């Protein structure tokens, strides 16, 4: 069965509730106060069926003090039924409600000219002309206008036919690539069931027993039972009026304006970037730092205009803006909103959410807001690319992109795949997979070449730069967890090589100038020839008439390459000399020895004997036992 949600709109006492009852047989006024006062105070709901089409009605109050409730009811509707009384014509809330449904992106609907039995045909014609004039510059221009009387039944069958025809041609709801999403407009307790919420299902499908999350608070629950207009259902989908019996939550845990969604990477925000239209009827211009009231779906929150791409914004103009919220909301690109001023209360602006997770722009950069990409589905690749580029080298996980756009992760693969095919976006082999702009990696490769060259400049010999140290010098802090992936990417691109955890020039295991190569051979030979009476680096520098800093660097290089060993942090000795000591100890023919015996055997001073014995202990050649050393001989 196909579903469509129609919301009423119009001035108080123009007959919206009576009309819905005439169409459906259902009285939407359920509260005792509504019955007593004869006016609608809260949202009411009804439905009718025609073939495979189920039409859901949301009846809204028309009083000027209840426009916020009307806006909550208008969220998620597919069509509007504008109601105008023939005996009064267009009134203030007629105009305001029309502006609201236009700002909420409702594409069209029909007009019911009610109380037709109270006026003559000439008055009906005048009222019809007035309505057509009102609608001429709106998306409702050309909408059918049907004169009706709920009391006599005049026009009711015709209006029903018009609504069914229009509903049959309405755009389908998003059920396949979106999570389940429902805007909560009622919360109550039902005997024997517990907490129940109702709302219009906006996206996706939900089955009884499925887990759900209540946003923005993030409370987890389960859809214990599902109902649509009192009938229990195993599954519901976008475009229906759905009641959900929530498991494990009380009525104080859920509020009007919350959203029920399939669990996922959906993040609340306190700053929305929007395309804003200031109504031509707005009493004055809009500027930054102005306090407003933002209505999004069924939520109502105090807010402040932070940035405007053009300021001040004059009545009738549009601009991209950033609006800070007093409390968090969950919004996605394409969501609609309405702005009202708190005092004096009036609807003066509205528009579309472009991004719920952009950083706050500085005032000097506010002009850049004009360049944000479209949020239309056909523009998703460009939108995703802009997010990936903005994330810089920190890259962005696929999951976060899906959460920001409001679609299932499996459904984001196609637009991302097209981006990767262009070569402008690259994937990093991380878990989860992250995406980064090719332009960022290209600049990183250039920076890596320059940094490697500058850090090795003036050094005759170097084993390279420790990979982690090098990564920290070329990557921003937010990208450091991805250092291994970026270093491998840079190696693949020929910007550097990596040898034994050190960053080195391409094609080399170390950095070495011709002079450095010659000095390295000489330094190593000096230490090899010195045997167990090794010189200090300062003595080597004097012997070779070289700069001490250069010799220090060469010695460090030889230690890293395993040609020299550094004992007790300062004593340098050639590794082959130490190996000769190892072999001599193992072939000594004693089970243990004193330090004095060791010194005598190798002709060592205590200054050299103690560090070498420490090395033998570390190499598991000897084991210290008091003042003696036990020789460890391994079998086999």
Annotated catalytic residue within 3, 11, 14, 17: 17
The token duo for 607 is: 């200054």
Secondary structure (DSSP) of 231-268: EEESEEETTSEEEEEETT--GGG--TT-EEE-SSS---
Report the half-sphere exposure of 348 (CA within 13 A, side-chain side).
20
CA 335/CA 178 separation, integer angstroms: 14
Question: For residue 339, how many C-alpha atoms fall within 13 Å in the half-sphere facing its CB?
Answer: 27
By CB atoms closer than 10 A (0-12, 13-18, 19+), residue 607 is exposed
Residue positions counted in the chain: 636
Please answer whether residues 312 and 287 qualify as being in contact, where contact means their C-beta atoms are separated by less than 8 angstroms.
yes
Return the SS3 of 297: coil
Of 8, 11, 13, 200, which residue is the catalytic one? 13
526 vs 42, 104, 535, CA distance in Å? Answer: 95, 84, 8
Q: Is 318 exposed, middle or buried (CB count within 10 Å of its CB: 0-12, 13-18, 19+)?
A: middle
Is residue 154 helix, strand or coil? coil
Decide if 13 is catalytic: yes
Helices 438-456 and 483-492 pack at an angle, to 10 degrees, of: 80
Neighbours of 35 (CB within 10 A): 11
Q: Which residues contact 46 (CB under 8 A, 6 or more apart)?
A: 20, 21, 23, 24, 26, 28, 56, 57, 59, 229
Q: How far apart are CA 564 and CA 559, in angstroms?
A: 5
Give pairs for 564-567: CB < 8 Å, separation 24+: 564/524, 564/527, 565/615, 567/611, 567/612, 567/614, 567/615
Q: Which of 3, 11, 14, 16 is catalytic?
A: 16
**Residue whose entry in the numeric block shows the structure tokens 């504008």:** 82
Residue 561 CB neighbour total at 10 angstroms: 15
Q: Are strands 53-59 and 2-9 parallel, antiparallel or unpaired?
A: parallel
The DSSP result for 367-383, as a single string, is GGGGGPPP-SGGGHHHH
Told to judge if 17 belongs to the known catalytic residues of this protein, a careful annotator would answer yes
DSSP one-letter string for 57-115: EEE----GGGHHHHHHHHTT-SEEEEEEETTT-S-HHHHHHHHHHHHTT---EEEEEE-
Q: Which residues form the catalytic set?
A: 13, 16-17, 63
């Amino acid at each position: 069965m196909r579903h469509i949600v129609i919301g009423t709109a119009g001035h108080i006492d123009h007959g919206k509730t009576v009309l819905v009852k005439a169409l459906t047989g259902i009285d939407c006024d359920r509260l005792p106060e509504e019955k007593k006062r004869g006016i609608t105070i809260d949202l009411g709901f009804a439905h009718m069926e025609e073939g495979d089409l189920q039409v859901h009605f949301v009846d809204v109050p028309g009083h000027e003090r209840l426009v916020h409730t009307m806006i909550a009811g208008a969220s998620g509707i597919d069509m509007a039924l504008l109601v105008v009384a023939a005996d009064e014509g267009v009134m203030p809330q007629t105009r305001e409600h029309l502006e609201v449904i236009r700002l909420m992106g409702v594409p069209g609907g029909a007009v019911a000219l009610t109380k037709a039995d109270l006026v003559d045909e000439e008055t009906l014609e005048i009222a019809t002309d007035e309505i057509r004039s009102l609608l001429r510059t709106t998306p409702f221009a050309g909408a059918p206008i049907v004169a009706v009387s709920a009391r006599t039944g005049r026009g009711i069958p015709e209006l029903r036919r018009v609504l069914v025809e229009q509903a049959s041609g309405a755009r389908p709801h998003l059920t396949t690539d979106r999570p389940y999403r429902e805007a909560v407009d009622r919360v109550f307790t039902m005997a024997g069931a517990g907490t129940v919420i109702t709302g219009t299902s906006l996206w996706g499908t939900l089955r009884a027993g499925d887990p759900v999350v209540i946003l923005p608070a993030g409370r987890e629950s389960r859809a214990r039972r599902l109902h649509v207009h009192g009938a229990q259902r195993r599954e519901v989908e976008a475009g229906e009026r759905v009641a959900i019996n929530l498991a494990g939550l009380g009525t104080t845990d859920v509020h009007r304006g919350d959203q029920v969604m399939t669990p996922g990477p959906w993040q609340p925000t306190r700053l929305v970037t929007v395309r804003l239209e200031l109504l031509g009827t707005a009493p004055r211009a809009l500027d930054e730092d102005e306090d407003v009231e933002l209505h999004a779906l069924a939520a109502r929150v105090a807010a402040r205009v932070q940035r405007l791409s053009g300021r001040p914004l004059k009545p009738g103009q549009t601009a991209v803006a950033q609006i800070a919220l007093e409390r968090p909301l969950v919004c996605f690109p394409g969501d609609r909103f309405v702005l009202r001023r708190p005092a004096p209360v009036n609807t003066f602006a509205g528009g579309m959410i472009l991004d719920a997770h952009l950083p706050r722009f500085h005032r000097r950069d506010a002009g850049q807001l004009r360049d944000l990409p479209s949020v239309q589905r056909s523009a998703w690749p460009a939108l995703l690319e802009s997010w990936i580029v903005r994330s810089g080298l920190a890259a962005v996980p696929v999951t976060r992109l899906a959460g920001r756009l409001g679609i299932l992760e499996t459904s984001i693969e196609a637009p991302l795949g097209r981006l990767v095919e262009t070569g402008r976006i690259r994937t990093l082999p991380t878990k989860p997979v992250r995406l980064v702009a090719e332009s960022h990696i290209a600049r990183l490769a250039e920076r890596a070449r320059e940094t490697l060259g500058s850090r090795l400049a003036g050094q005759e010999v170097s084993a390279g730069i420790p990979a982690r140290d090098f990564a920290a010098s070329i990557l921003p802090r937010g990208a450091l967890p991805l250092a291994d992936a970026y270093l491998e990417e840079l190696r693949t691109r020929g910007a550097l090589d990596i040898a034994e955890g050190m960053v080195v020039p391409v094609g080399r295991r170390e950095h070495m100038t011709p002079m450095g190569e010659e000095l390295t051979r000489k330094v190593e030979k000096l230490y090899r020839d010195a045997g167990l009476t090794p010189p200090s680096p300062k003595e080597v520098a004097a012997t070779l008439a070289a700069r001490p800093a250069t010799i220090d660097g060469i010695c460090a290089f030889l230690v890293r390459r395993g040609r020299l060993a550094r004992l007790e942090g300062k004593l340098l000795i050639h590794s082959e000399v130490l190996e000769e000591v190892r072999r001599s100890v193992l072939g000594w023919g004693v089970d243990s020895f004193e330090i004095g015996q060791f010194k005598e055997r190798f002709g060592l001073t205590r200054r050299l004997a103690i560090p070498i014995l420490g090395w033998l202990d570390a190499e598991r050649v000897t084991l210290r036992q008091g003042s003696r050393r036990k020789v460890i001989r391994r079998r086999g």
